[in-house]
Chain A
Amino acid sequence: MGAEEIQIIEGLALPMRGEDIDTDRIMPARFLKQITFDGLGDHVFEDDRLAAKRAGGTHPFDEPKHQDAKILLANRNFGSGSSREHAPQGLHRWGIRAVIAESFAEIFSGNSLMIGLACATASPKDVEALMALVERDPNATLKVDLKAGTCEAPGVTIAVAIPAHVREALITGAWDTTGLLLDHYEQVNAVAARLPYLSGFSSPR
Chain B
Amino acid sequence: MGKTLLQKVWDLHTVRTLPTAQTQLFIGLHLVHEVTSPQAFDALRQRGLKVARTDRTFATVDHIVPTRQRQRPFLDVMAEDMIAALERNCRDFGIPLYDIGDDRQGIVHVIGPELGLTQPGLTIACGDSHTSTHGAFGAVAFGIGTSQVRDVLASQCLAIEPLKVRRIRVTGQLPRGVYAKDVILTIIQRLGVAGGNGYAYEYAGDTIERMSMDERMTICNMSIEGGARVGYVNPDETTFTYLQGRAFIPKGEAFERAKAWWRSIASDTDARYDDDVEIRAAELTPVVTWGVNPGQSIGISGNVPAPVGSGADQQSVSDALAYMGLQAGQPIAGMKIDVAFIGSCTNGRLSDLREAARIVEGNRVAQGVKALVVPGSVSVQRAAEREGLDKTFRDAGFEWRDAGCSMCLGMNPDKLEGNQVCAASSNRNFKGRQGSPTGRTLLMSPAMVAAAAMTGKVIDVRDLFDAVPAGAR
Residues of A within 8 A of B (CB): 18-20, 22, 24-25, 28-30, 32-37, 47-48, 50-51, 75-77, 80-86, 88, 103, 105-107, 110-111, 114-115, 124, 163-165, 168-169, 172, 174, 176-178, 180-182, 184-185, 187-188, 191-192, 194-198, 200-202, 204-205
Contact = CB atoms under 8 A, between A and B. Distances in A.
A168 B194 contact: no
Contacts of B229: 106-107
Given A36-B38, A80-B194, A107-B129, A75 B21 contact: no
Interface in B255-278: 255, 257-258, 261
27 contacts: A22-B430, A24-B430, A28-B410, A29-B435, A33-B35, A34-B82, A35-B39, A35-B42, A50-B437, A51-B437, A80-B194, A80-B293, A81-B225, A82-B129, A85-B36, A110-B145, A110-B160, A111-B144, A114-B145, A165-B22, A178-B43, A181-B151, A188-B156, A188-B157, A191-B14, A197-B121, A197-B122
Interface residues of B, number: 82
B279 interface: no
B239 to A, nearest CB: 14
B315 to A, nearest CB: 8
A34 B431 contact: no
B109 to A, nearest CB: 13
B335 to A, nearest CB: 22
A194 B12 contact: yes
B144 A83 contact: yes
Nearest to A75: B312
Nearest to A163: B161
Given A83-B143, A107-B144, A201-B250, A28 B437 contact: yes
Contact of B194 (A88, A105, A194, A195): A105
Given A20-B194, A105-B194, A178 B151 contact: yes
B148 interface: yes
B435 A30 contact: yes
Nearest to A177: B159
Nearest to A180: B18
Nearest to A89: B146
Contacts of B85: 35
